[in-house]
A and B are shown apart, each in its own frame.
Chain A
């Protein structure tokens, strides 16, 4: 199945891309997707900050099981205001 990934801020710069479509195994979790993305974008690997995860514009846990067409965002520490 395919999911859409959007990168923002420091992750966008490290990935060198704002968006990606990724083919993953049915039932993959958000954490598993992150592992795969680190192989596609090696510069994401050294990211040591704590990430939050959002699927379809809502925060989810790392073990959230993805579905076809989900929009996934890895949220680096926010700093609005």
Chain B
């Protein structure tokens, strides 16, 4: 399951999706909106995606994780639109026979999302708003 959605993300749906009789571990990561950033009081994060490509890139990184670690199933759902303080913007769930593979694949997924998946966040803070990431371009690291 690799999806971009305008709706609130349902953790239980992802956990159910990766639940597998051969798995001995399920690791989840939840990225949430924090109330401060670089000294600014954050009101909300407003996410935008190139949805067709974002889902394709999520699937691609899921496949790459499957080559690197022995995992059973993976699910990634990223929310777009406004995400309020404490709400999840992204949830990743990974199941594996053993916990080390699940932890590492989950970590890989969130790090790759931040590098190469076409999703952008605008920080809305007290006194203004700013697109995050535009001050320091990063190279594309292909697998």
* A positions within 8 Å CB-CB of B: 6, 8-10, 12, 49-52, 54, 57-59, 73, 75-81
What are the residues of chain A within 8 A of B134 when measuring CB–CB?
A: 10, 49, 76-77
Q: How far, in whole Å, are A50 and B113 apart by their CA atoms in the complex? A: 17
Q: How far is the CA of A52 from the CA of B78 in the complex (A)?
A: 21
Q: At the interface, yes or no: B31 with Cβ under 8 Å from chain A?
A: yes
Binds A, one of B5-13, B15-23, B94-102, B116-124: B116-124
B41 CB–A CB distance under 8 Å = no
Q: Is the interface of B mostly helix, strand, loop or mixed?
A: mixed
CB distance from A75 to the nearest CB of B (A): 5
Chain B nearest CB, measured from A27 CB (Å): 24
Q: Are B114 and A57 touching (Cβ within 8 A)?
A: no
Residue count of chain B within 8 Å CB distance of chain A: 34
B132's closest neighbor in chain A, by CB? Answer: A79
Task: Tell me which of A9, A49, A73, A81 contacts B137 (CB under 8 A).
Answer: A49
User: Which chain B residues border A49 with CB–CB below 8 Å?
Assistant: 134-137
Query: 7 A-B Cβ contacts within 8 A?
Result: A9-B48, A10-B131, A58-B56, A76-B134, A79-B131, A80-B118, A80-B121
